[in-house]
């Protein structure tokens, strides 16, 4: 069992930056690939980024490639999402998830979400 708590969301102007954190408790965090997802109003949830257990492999959705960076600190049981050059279309609730596998990237455990709002 892994419990996940996101933090770092908020209101930011377009062009600004935010860093989201996802703190995990429970055993075996290091065994999991981790992902960040987001869901905007009236839209389906989409994957933003994912990272394998060691941090050696990452993937980004096309809409955030070159602007967002996912990382993890296994010693601190935490995964991060650095979001730069934010756009109004990045506005959404952001969720972190422990994934069933890096390749399939289906969430096994989910956080409660954190709101990110980007004003124009």
Rg (CA), the chain: 13
Query: Does 1 score more than 90 pLDDT?
Result: no
What distances in angstroms separate CA 10 from CA 19, 26, 93, 114, one per listed residue? 10, 27, 10, 8
Predicted confidence at residue 27, as pLDDT, reads 79
Residue 85 and residue 12: Cα distance in Å, rounded?
A: 10
Q: Which pair of structure tokens corresponds to residue 33?
A: 């690939």
Question: pLDDT tens digit string along 3-31?
Answer: 999 999 999 999 999 999 999 998 788 89
Question: pLDDT tens digit string along 27-80?
Answer: 788 899 999 999 999 999 999 999 999 999 999 999 999 999 999 999 999 999
What are the backbone dihedrals phi and psi of residue 42, each rounded to the nearest 5 degrees, phi first?
65, 20
Query: Does 109 score more than 90 pLDDT?
Result: yes
Predicted confidence at residue 79, as pLDDT, reads 98
């Amino acid at each position: 069992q892994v419990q996940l708590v996101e933090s770092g969301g908020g209101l930011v102007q377009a062009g600004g930056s935010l860093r989201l954190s996802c703190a995990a408790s429970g055993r075996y965090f290091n065994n999991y690939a981790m992902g960040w997802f987001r869901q905007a109003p009236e839209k389906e949830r989409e994957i933003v980024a994912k990272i394998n257990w060691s941090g050696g492999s990452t993937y980004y959705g096309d809409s955030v490639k070159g602007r967002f960076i996912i990382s993890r600190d296994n010693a601190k049981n935490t995964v991060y999402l650095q979001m730069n050059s934010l756009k109004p279309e990045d506005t959404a609730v952001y969720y972190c998830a422990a994934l069933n596998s890096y390749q399939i990237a289906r969430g096994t455990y989910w956080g409660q979400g954190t709101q990110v709002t980007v004003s124009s």
